[in-house]
Structure 1
Amino acid sequence: MSLRLSTVILPVDRWHEGGRAKWQRAEELGFHAAYTYDHLSWRTFRDGPWFGALPTLAAAATATDRLRLGTLVTSPNFRHPVTLAKELISLDDVSGGRITLGIGAGGNGFDATALGQEQWTPRERADRFAEFVPLLDRLLTEDAVSQEGDFYTAEEARNLPGCLQRPRLPFAVAATGPRGLKLAARHGQAWVTTGDPKLYETGTPEQSVEALRGQIEKLGKACEEIDRDAPELDKILLHGFTPDRNRPLESVDAFVDFAGRHRELGFTEIVIHWPIPDSDFAAGQAVFEQIATEGGKQLG
């Protein structure tokens, strides 16, 4: 089974001072896709430059020709399905049908309270996500939608002409819990995970592999419940949050070994962070590019 290699480019550079060049270089290196985080700010980058995901992707769409583009991930923390659908339809059109929406329930980061709301509990996040995803699905596939929910309402929301990709642009649903996995099984064209966060600090690579194996098994059961064939879903691993941290980016051999172990689990795509010096995603640029070209060929 082949394994696609993609990258995630954090929106920390002014477009005309290195931002555009990164996205164009990602296409030159042959990455399958380039994603960006959809946050208002994020962890250690909070006090530095951070630009909006959707405008960045629109700019990237005009600066590239073949590269798939997307978010990893968008969440309900500061998005509403009605306005998000309109922006996604526009973005899919600008890109010529190259957009994938990575979408998750959100977390406790800065986005969770930036609009003045109280931080949601895990159950509240799951409840909102369970309403958000199906409504967004309808908004992207139907010409006009009216729906009154507990959290989100659409009143004659019109979305002509719809997505360029039919019936809509693909969803890559980030989930590890039972409710999220059910949403991935029902609405996703792909499933996204970062691994088991409980293992990040003290776990081992071997424990991480077993945890991921368990997640994939649970996803398979969620698919069985609705008579969906689990292999239909692409399975995406966002690298950088497993106990290996950035060790797989130290050499081509190290990455091929890491990627091979995860391909055996059933993953179809691995996403690696574009290096950012003096950050959690610091890595050698030369080795990173060598992984993109030589490692990608070995895995393909």
Structure 2
Amino acid sequence: MRLGVLLLPEVGWQVAQDQWRMVEDLGFDAGWTIDHLFWRTLRDGPWFSTFPWLCAAATATDRLSLGVLVTSPTFRHPVLVAKDAIAIDDISGGRFALGLGAGSAGAGDADVIEPVLPARQRADRFEEFVEVTDLLLREPLASYNGSYYTVKDARNFPGCVQSPRVPLCIAAAGPRGMRLAARHGDAWVCCGPVDLAAGGTPELFLTAVQEQSRQLSRECTAIGRDPAALRRILVLTEMADPLPRSVDLFVERATEYARAGITDLVVPIPRPSGVHQGDPGLLAELASTALPLLRELSSSRETT
């Protein structure tokens, strides 16, 4: 099992570059960030654009895998997403992964650009968003004609460093999204229960992860794809107690997630206050104690 860290683009680069280097130096496998115009209770504080921030992270690190969890069609066009992904893949030397999600009406910044679509139309748009982004990253010259996106002769030279393209990590919780992940994804992104705002317990979080992982395996099997072909990335939210005081408890829960098929865990970088508040020394403790144990965990994928 791999362990990554979620960093928020909320601090100036003189501070942020030290955070990224710390995550790499501690031995974590990946550094991730999110793609919003603002986020939750941090809406009135500093917040930087995701893709330039990741470009800078690529130059500040040498080994760490980098990625976004996730970008969405809420305020992104696939042509520019593909261009940015190709650039970061080049700058990082092939260490970039592109996470894609449908966007949520409850994300906070979903209503910045109107119209705000109902759930069914967001799902329709997301399907096109994934299809055309996949196409653009694979083909040096691409066209697409859909209900939400029309692309004519988009030029994508020189293309991705990674072959056949940068990995696509598809966020999904329901059957339709799972089918999309099974068709186009190199990885599936899970955040636990659909309604995170409703609250819950780590046990309920685990139950949701188990069921969703089984659903993904069923969707893969239905189209003749090996369920083991997709990595399964779990972003630990407050419901999952992502910054536990006990490393032993963290490893115990990671073991349960591995049994549910999870291959990658993502923990937030501890913040001094508010969301993700925690002891800044926890990452060093996880790196020295939990990382070696997690690397021994093998994921299993239930299909029933």
TM-score (norm 1): 0.95
Q: Out of 273, 281, 284, which is 1:286 matched to?
A: 281
| Contiguous gaps of at least 5 residues in structure 2 | 296-304
Find the aligned partners of 1:211 and 1:87 in 2 and give their Cα distance: 33
Q: C-alpha distance in 1, partners of 2:166/2:238?
A: 27
> Cα offset for 1:136?
0.5
C-alpha displacement of 1:45:
0.6
Q: d(CA) in 2 for partners of 1:267 and 1:99?
A: 20
Query: Partner residue of 1:5?
Result: 3
Aligned equivalent of 2:253: 258
Q: 1: CA distance between counterparts of 2:28 and 2:96?
A: 14
Q: Corresponding residue for 2:271? A: 276
Of 109, 129, 134, 1:132 maps to 129
Partner of 1:188: 185
2:290 to 281, 290, 295: 295
Task: Give aligned pairs, total.
Answer: 294
**Aligned equivalents of 2:86 and 2:133: distance in 1?**
11
Q: Which position in structure 2 is the counterpart of 1:147?
A: 144
Q: Within the alignment, does 1:122 sit opposite 2:89 as a pair?
A: no
Q: Which of 221, 241, 245 does residue 241 from structure 2 map onto?
A: 245
Contact kept, 8 Å, 2:24 with 2:64, in 1: the verdict is: yes
Amino acid at match of 1:4: R
The C-alpha deviation readout for 1:117-146, integer Å capped at 9, x for no partner, is 122111111010010101111100011111
Which of residues 209, 213, 222 is equivalent to 1:212?
A: 209
Q: Which amino acid aligns with 2:241?
A: R
Are the equivalent residues in 2 in contact too, given 1:199–1:207 (CA < 8 A)?
no
Alpha-carbon distance in 1 for matches of 2:145, 2:238 = 37
Verify the 8 A CA contact 2:238 2:276 in the aligned structure 1. Answer: no
Query: Aligned partners of 1:201, 1:258: CA distance in 2, in Å?
Result: 21
One-letter identity of the residue aligned with 2:121: E
Deviation at 1:9, TM superposition (A): 0.3
Instruction: State the 1:276 CA deviation.
Output: 1.1
C-alpha distance in 2 between matches for 1:187 and 1:221: 15
The farther-off stretch of 283-292 and 153-162 is: 283-292
Find the aligned partners of 2:126 and 2:20 in 1 and give their Cα distance.
Answer: 30
CA contact (8 A) 2:220 2:226 kept: yes
Give the superposition deviation at 1:249: 2.4
Normalising by the residue count of structure 2, what TM-score does the alignment of the two structures yield? 0.93
Q: State the Cα distance separating 1:201 from its structure 2 match.
A: 4.4
Q: Which residue of 2 aligns with 1:165?
A: 162
Shift of 1:289: 1.7
Task: State the distance in 2 between where 1:51 and 1:144 align.
Answer: 31
AA at the equivalent of 2:274? S
1:26 to 7, 10, 23: 23
1:264/1:132 Cα in 2 relative to 1: closer, same or farther (>3 Å)? same
Counterpart of 1:113 in structure 2 is: 111
Write the distance in 1 (CA, Å) between the matches of 2:283 and 2:61. 20
Residue 298 of structure 2 corresponds to which residue in structure 1? none
Q: Is contact 1:251–1:287 with CA below 8 Å preserved after alignment?
A: no
Equivalent residue runs for 1:36-47 within 5 Å: 36-47=33-44
Instruction: Write out per-residue CA displacement over residues 215-244 of structure 1, whole angstroms, 9 at most, x where no aligned residue.
Output: 0111011101210000111111100243x3
Q: How far did residue 251 of structure 1 move? A: 2.1
d(CA) in 2 for partners of 1:51, 1:62: 17
CA RMSD of aligned residues (A): 1.3
Paired with 1:54 and 1:26, the residues of 2 have a C-alpha distance of 19
Q: Assess, with a 3 A threshold, how the Cα gap between structure 1 residues 241 and 95 changes in structure 2: closer, same or farther.
A: same
Q: Tell me the distance in 1 between the aligned counterparts of 2:183 and 2:126.
A: 13
Q: 1:298, CA displacement in angstroms?
A: 1.3
Per-residue deviation, 1:199:
6.6
Q: CA deviation at 1:153?
A: 1.1
SS in 1 for 2:232: strand
* Pair 1:106–1:199, CA change in 2 (3 A): closer
How far 1:296 sits from its partner (Å)? 0.6
Aligned match for 1:94, one of 87, 91, 94 = 91
Q: Following the alignment from structure 1 to structure 2, what is the Cα–Cα distance between the partners of residues 200 and 253? A: 27
